[in-house]
Structure 1
Amino acid sequence: MIQWFKDGKSLPKRYVWEILLGAHEQFVQEESLVTLNLEEGMTCDVIGDVHGQFYDLLHLYSLTGEPTHKHCLLMNGDLVDRGSWSVEVILTALAFKWLYPKFMYINRGNHETKEMNRTYGFEGEAKHKHGEQTYKLFAYLFTAMPLATLVCATQPPSGKTNNTILSPEGRKRYFVVHGGLFSKDGVTLDDVQKIERFGRQPGQEGLMCELLWTDPQELPGRGPSKRGVGIAFGPDVTQRWCEANGVTGVIRSHEVRQDGYAIEHNGLCTTVFSAPNYVDQAGNKGAFIRIDASGSQKYTQFDAKPHPPMKPMAYASGGLASLLM
């Protein structure tokens, strides 16, 4: 299938539907907050936004390796929109989910939503390549995607743990979510797990919206969002939330970082972004984060790869829109 895509061909519609229904069957068995325990010898690669950059995704997968019983992939939302191979990106990821449901994980991003897809290209691309009914099936599937993943080390931490926040069992664990934290204190992991997500769009407020839309800020406290949706949360907010929930750190995506990743909020909040040279003009590197069974992290950067002559947003309704989203 991947070679078929590289050759510029479209998958027959019946196979697209089989992949979508097969992946949906796996998503509906998962909680809104997935718990992923890294047993001894296992690793998990956390991948940020890829935004329809299929040829960069192939390069990325060559660096991470495919999912296996010793190696998980966790894609942290925004697989589609902007890049003009969003269908190929999402079908590849969903095929892995169908094949390896316990080793391939996908969080929903703010672009796995109808409103974003209408504006930033995925709706037009999906309809162009596979018809309106297929787009509706994609939109239906997006509402089944989990909203966050708790990646839990099962081995004791390696090295010093001074000031490191650990789980009640004394292990490291990371809250992986597309956007970030909340407009109020007191939200628990249990609250996230209980969110009713099926059939729902994130809307303009509430926990689901904030999980998908918020951003960190340098100043303490909370502030307005530059996006007009969600809020911005400061390092003190992150500290309190991690301490209250026994979380070693928040890993999120949602924003370009020139180095592909950035460690923020005194090490408690890390942004990872995996679309290098975003929309063919940002000049940034991509990155992914590898977590092992002791909770140690390793960061890998990579550069953009050439792609066929198709501009970003080729299927979008309103031309190239703001890069902030």
Structure 2
Amino acid sequence: MSHQGEEISSSSTPPPPSSSSPPSDPTAASVGSRSCPNPTETPLAWPSDGSLTREWIAGLTAALDWSSRHLRPPELPSVLPLPLLQRLVLAASNILHKEPNCLRIDMDGDDDAEMRRSGAAVVVVGDVHGQFHDVIFLLEHAGFPSENRIFVFNGDYVDRGAWGLETFLLLLAWKVFLPHRVFLLRGNHESKYCTSVYGFEKEVMVKYGDQGPQVYRKCLRCFEGLPLASIIAGRVYTAHGGLFRSVSPTPSSKRSKGKKGRKVITNVDTSILKLGSLEELLKARRTVLDPPWEGSNLIPGDVLWSDPSPKPGLSLNEERGIGLLWGPDCTEEFLKKYNLKLIIRSHEGPDARDKRHDLAGMDNGYTIDHQVESGKLITLFSAPDYPQFQATEERYNNRGAYIVLHFPDFTTPEFHSFEAVKPRPKVGAYYNFEEVIDSDEELDLQSMDNGSSLDAVASTTVD
């Protein structure tokens, strides 16, 4: 499947797996009819030489897929034992925490002709929200990560869908195996607040029981290390939400001593909004569980939560209560200043766009929101038939999409839309989707934990 062009959409539908009738709760069995070996007879183990391989990741994928179809969620540890999970998350965390806030991603190679022949490219993926089976399909459909095929995932791996843990662990395995070819950026749902509201915390508790709080803490620590943005080939900026404000201190800014005597800005004039710089982005403190609301730490909140607008200018995002709205003039300013051609962001699925009549819908998994002199702003969403659980009978039936950026300039986006793997294995939701309908309406800023302490998680219990 190779189609060139700026707005070409290629659609593929995988053969549907079979599944059983729906259970009544999240712990009920998810049984399919696929004939495959029972991985519980030989649970997954870390490679004896300590190095992950493609074959090992293929085995991990197959085992997690099998368990989602044949086991009750609390039986996942029989396939994925806690010591293996801990080692995988720790190995990935050690890599992620060393990466900068804004990654510089380049396709290295001395032979341009060979790079073209090999189909050298960067694949950009939007929100996947725990839709594990669609992620498996996407990886295969797009051509698995390799030396000549870089993947950039734009956040929101967990919540909403029923297999956030499996999704996150699979992507961490690819990161450990190919740390310089697989890049995982942070989404707004990689936070303590969102995971406590939209299901991931409870999912972990159900699947790992008494060991759940320990697993959840390790995942949160890993979230803290996820970078915020990337620059691909010096020409494409990617981030989950998008652009961000400048937080240069005003003359009236106060400084106080934080932990270990570090000086922190506690007062920034938010009445004067202007676009932030990449230099400011690099200096922002990302190791917080939820976006803080002061000083230079405003930047992570903007990067993860902001949205584009067709109206010119930069303003506070009143609908979400966090982040910004930015217009085409801001997109042009940012692209021109840094000699970029594209901004690829995610963050808005069909439910969010359904209420924003000023922007295009998310039926095909992507929209072009701004087209300006210097380039384009694209919103990319990779979770088809989203959300998995919905209170209304009428579904959006959206397609998901990913983008391929080809060597050598990486500036002509090739769009690939795809449909959901159906039917999904039957399982219950881990959050009250009938009440928790929309993140814009449900966002409770006062309940967010603005620090990086995980002490409160230790006492977490399942409802």
Cα offsets for 1:251-288 (capped at 9, x unmatched): 10000221101112115210000000101432111000
Question: In structure 2, what is the equivalent of residue 263 of structure 1?
Answer: 368
Deviation at 1:319, TM superposition (A): 4.8
SS at structure 1 position matched to 2:130: coil
Question: In structure 2, what is the equivalent of residue 193 of structure 1?
Answer: 282
Aligned partners of 1:309 and 1:242: how far apart in 2? 44
175-184 vs 196-205, which moves further: 196-205
Identity of aligned residues (%): 33
Structure 2, unaligned runs of 5 or more: 1-59, 246-272, 350-361, 389-394, 441-463
* Residue 274 (structure 1) aligned with residue 374 (structure 2): no
Deviation at 1:26, TM superposition (A): 0.8
Q: 1:321 aligns with which of 436, 449, 457?
A: 436
Q: Which structure 2 residues correspond to residues 294-309 of structure 1 after superposition, within 5 A?
A: 294-295=409-410, 296-306=412-422, 307-309=424-426
Q: Is the 8 A contact 1:140 1:199 kept in 2?
A: no
Deviation at 1:181, TM superposition (A): 1.0
Deviation at 1:207, TM superposition (A): 0.6
275-284 vs 201-210, which moves further: 201-210
Spell out structure 1 runs of 4+ moving beyond 6 A. none
Number of residue pairs the alignment of both structures matches: 304
Q: Which structure 2 residues correspond to residues 77-96 of structure 1 after superposition, within 5 A?
A: 77-96=155-174
Aligned partners of 2:99 and 2:65: how far apart in 1? 31
Question: In structure 2, what is the equivalent of residue 160 of structure 1?
Answer: none
Question: In structure 2, what is the equivalent of residue 6 of structure 1?
Answer: 65
Aligned partners of 1:84 and 1:104: how far apart in 2? 24
SS at structure 2 position matched to 1:22: helix
266-275 vs 116-125, which moves further: 266-275
Letter in 2 for 1:192: L
Structure with greater strand share of residues: 1
Letter in 2 for 1:235: P
Q: 2:107 aligns with which of 17, 27, 38?
A: 38
SS at structure 1 position matched to 2:387: helix
Aligned partners of 1:119 and 1:200: how far apart in 2? 14
TM-score, structure 1 length as denominator? 0.89
Letter in 1 for 2:400: G
Deviation at 1:315, TM superposition (A): 1.3
Question: In structure 1, what is the equivalent of residue 241 of structure 2?
Answer: 179
Aligned partners of 2:292 and 2:172: how far apart in 1? 24
SS at structure 2 position matched to 1:7: helix
Aligned partners of 1:81 and 1:99: how far apart in 2? 25
Letter in 2 for 1:216: P
Question: In structure 2, what is the equivalent of residue 232 of structure 1?
Answer: 325
Q: Is the 8 A contact 1:220 1:235 kept in 2?
A: yes
Aligned partners of 2:435 and 2:386: how far apart in 1? 12
Deviation at 1:87, TM superposition (A): 0.6
Aligned partners of 1:37 and 1:285: how far apart in 2? 29
Aligned partners of 1:317 and 1:324: how far apart in 2? 13
Aligned partners of 1:63 and 1:284: how far apart in 2? 18
219-228 vs 54-63, which moves further: 219-228
Question: In structure 2, what is the equivalent of residue 209 of structure 1?
Answer: 301
**Structure 1 pair 260–192 and aligned structure 2 pair: CA distance change class (3 A):** same
* Residue 23 (structure 1) aligned with residue 92 (structure 2): yes
Deviation at 1:247, TM superposition (A): 1.9
Q: CA RMSD in A?
A: 1.7
Q: Which structure 2 residues correspond to residues 140-155 of structure 1 after superposition, within 5 A?
A: 140-152=221-233
Question: In structure 1, what is the equivalent of residue 344 of structure 2?
Answer: 251
75-84 vs 238-247, which moves further: 238-247
Q: Is the 8 A contact 1:80 1:111 kept in 2?
A: yes
Q: Is the 8 A contact 2:243 2:275 kept in 1?
A: no
Q: Is the 8 A contact 1:215 1:232 kept in 2?
A: yes
Aligned partners of 2:438 and 2:134: how far apart in 1? 19
Q: Is the 8 A contact 2:365 2:384 kept in 1?
A: yes
SS at structure 1 position matched to 2:225: coil
Question: In structure 1, what is the equivalent of residue 20 of structure 2?
Answer: none
Deviation at 1:182, TM superposition (A): 2.1
Deviation at 1:38, TM superposition (A): 2.2
Aligned partners of 1:186 and 1:125: how far apart in 2? 38
Q: Is the 8 A contact 1:204 1:230 kept in 2?
A: no
Structure 1, unaligned runs of 5 or more: 154-172
Letter in 2 for 1:322: I
Q: Is the 8 A contact 2:134 2:383 kept in 1?
A: yes
**Structure 1 pair 113–73 and aligned structure 2 pair: CA distance change class (3 A):** same
Deviation at 1:244, TM superposition (A): 1.6
Cα offsets for 1:120-162 (capped at 9, x unmatched): 0001111221211110110011000000011116xxxxxxxxx
Aligned partners of 1:151 and 1:54: how far apart in 2? 26
